[in-house]
Amino acid sequence: MMVLVKFIACSAFLMLLFQIFLAKEKSFQLNRWILLALIPAAMIIPFLNIPIFLPQQNPVQIDYLPIDLPQSTTVNQSYTSHKAPFSPIQWFLVVYIPVFFFLLLKKIKALNRLISWTKNASVQHIHGALLILSEKVSSPFSFGNYIFMPPNLYKKCSLETEMILAHERYHMANRHHVDLIWMELLTALCWFNPVVYFVKKAMVLNHEYLADQEVQKIAHPTKYKQLLLEVAVNNNLEILTSSISSSALKNRLIMMNKPLTKKRMQLRIFSFSLLTSLFIAGISLEINAQHIPVPSTSQKQDQATDDTYFVVESQPEFNGGMTDFYRYVIENIGYPFRARRNGIEGQVVVQFVVEKDGSVSNVSAMNEIAGGCEEEAERVVRNSPDFKPGIQGGRPVRVQMVLPIHFILDKEKVGHDGHPIGKVIVEGVEQRNGRLEVDANYADGLWTGKVRNPEGNTLPGATVLIVDSTKGTVTDINGDFTISANPSQNLLASFVGYQSVKLQGN
């Protein structure tokens, strides 16, 4: 749903820039292409990604809000079969789809109405166009290669008729009906976005600006303006047509009287382009920019050898969410009969790798409780549907994951085979890479030290907090830290994916 909000906000801001800088300028051809691309551009902008990497290089003193830091990231989760409630996007689709088809049918009906007019009326060939004179027409308009006019307005060789035909021929020659079909499609697809209707209205008006500009080259401006006032009637065909008597006649008359100032127009085009570029860059940074910790030495070594990461910017995510992954495991795993018969229960920790394409590989149990539990745990993880891969530096990478699975017997309930019924509980997927190693000393009111991973490699960006305090720091590029504290205060060192370490004061 947030994407839809961003889409509407982007389209509103782009349309606002257009109205401020270009709507009242005679840059009609440029305006046409901008209006055609405005809504598609607003759809794309929320998905643009301009990554910014801001690693923490030096130790800094930080004031933290009070927080509770758990000693592990494990979350016990058990699932029962229940019907999930509708999500906001599902409710949106329930409303969106019927409205979309209603609007689409309405526009098809209007198109069929136009087609029926072309079939049921006599057609005259005039200078590359097909002229239809019909009493059903209130005011001249064009669609495709057809020009529709009321019989009382058509007078051969009259100046008024030539001006009307010139106006409509310009719409035909420049395929303005294609623009209108595109806008009608967008209004059906994006009916929930009010900006689309403003863009459509601006497109119709810009078409008339273009045609008015062309007619003034062959006719006296005053006589042409009088003609516009005489035919200012709306046919109310709703879609697809370009009419000489379209609404906003006042704006057209003002635009025809407005002098062309090239320097002013060029300045406004430049301003629009600059602000649009800054907006696109700004919204992309705002949406996607994040602080990226500096990879540790162990991560660099892993990348250099087999390109497998333990801690990454964006963790792998199961398609449908991690909750669906846990539900998949619960619904597909079985408690081995041999383990139930022999009373075997315990925790099996399954290690696996999420590949760059999201597939699961290198599945293996890290411990053994016997009874076939390890094999069953490996089987269900190995057959798992694909994940969304982890992201590091803007590209997909291999990420090693750990999944604890508990096999528990309910000895008070016996199955048909006479053995206790078993149940399986899945903990949250984690990246458990062992316990941090911290070398630290306290002297003269300062804790100083170095944080390493279990392999002995330094960890830049590790967090070091004073327990029961709001102060802390992070390790620098060499894994070193310095923090002022009282002799009796304890420290807590932590890093994503590792077990935290508590340092005792004096």
**Where do runs of H (alpha helix) occur along 45-190?**
88-119, 159-173, 176-189
User: In terms of domains, do 416 and 445 share one?
Assistant: no
Looking up residue 317, the CATH number of its domain turns out to be 3.30.1150
End position of a domain, from candidates 258, 293, 326: 258
User: In terms of domains, do 104 and 253 share one?
Assistant: yes
**pLDDT given at position 105:** 93
Element (DSSP H or E) covering residue 362:
strand 360-365
User: In terms of domains, do 362 and 441 share one?
Assistant: no
User: In terms of domains, do 454 and 483 share one?
Assistant: yes
Q: Tell me if 288 is assigned to some domain.
A: no
Q: How many CB atoms lie within 10 A of CB 22?
A: 22
**Number of folded domains that form the chain:** 3
**In the chain, how long is the greatest CA-to-CA distance?**
107
**pLDDT given at position 256:** 87
Q: Tell me if 76 is assigned to some domain.
A: no
User: In terms of domains, do 438 and 420 share one?
Assistant: no
User: In terms of domains, do 200 and 340 share one?
Assistant: no
Of 222, 204, 230, 53, nearest to 142 by C-alpha is 204
Q: Tell me if 272 is assigned to some domain.
A: no
User: In terms of domains, do 356 and 471 share one?
Assistant: no
Q: Tell me if 331 is assigned to some domain.
A: yes
Beta bridge partners of 4: none
Q: Is 464 strand, coil or helix? A: strand
CA angle at 143 for the pair 139 and 146, rounded to the nearest 5°: 85
- Cα–Cα distance, 171 to 298 (Å, whole number): 66
Contact 161, 171 (CB under 8 A): no
Which residues, including other chains, have CB under 8 Å from residue 355's CB and lie 6 or more apart? 361, 389, 398
**pLDDT given at position 384:** 93
- Angle, in degrees to the nearest 10, between helices 373-382 and 322-332: 130
Whole-model pTM over 0.85: no
Q: Tell me if 442 is assigned to some domain.
A: yes
User: In terms of domains, do 398 and 254 share one?
Assistant: no
Average pLDDT per consecutive 10 residues, the chain (506 residues; last block may be shorter): 86 95 92 95 84 44 32 34 58 91 91 81 82 81 85 78 87 90 93 94 92 87 82 56 64 86 92 93 59 40 48 80 88 90 88 91 86 92 92 85 87 82 78 72 86 84 76 86 84 71 73
**pLDDT given at position 305:** 38
- Cα–Cα distance, 13 to 41 (Å, whole number): 12
End position of a domain, from candidates 427, 448, 477: 427
Contact 235, 243 (CB under 8 A): yes
End position of a domain, from candidates 368, 395, 427: 427
Q: Tell me if 208 is assigned to some domain.
A: yes
User: In terms of domains, do 398 and 451 share one?
Assistant: no
Q: Tell me if 170 is assigned to some domain.
A: yes
In terms of residue numbers, what domain contains 389? 312-427
User: In terms of domains, do 409 and 494 share one?
Assistant: no
Cα separations in angstroms, 250 against 190, 228, 247: 29, 10, 8
Q: Tell me if 40 is assigned to some domain.
A: no
**pLDDT given at position 91:** 85
Cα dihedral angle (336, 340, 346, 349), rounded to 10 degrees? 0
How far is CA 208 from its chain centroid? 36
Category of 320 on φ-ψ map: left (φ > 0), alpha (ψ -120 to 50) or beta: left
- Cα–Cα distance, 76 to 405 (Å, whole number): 10
User: In terms of domains, do 372 and 459 share one?
Assistant: no
User: In terms of domains, do 248 and 371 share one?
Assistant: no
Cα separations in angstroms, 414 against 350, 376, 409, 417: 28, 21, 10, 8
Contact 183, 200 (CB under 8 A): yes
Looking up residue 457, the CATH number of its domain turns out to be 2.60.40
Structure tokens at 46: 């929320």
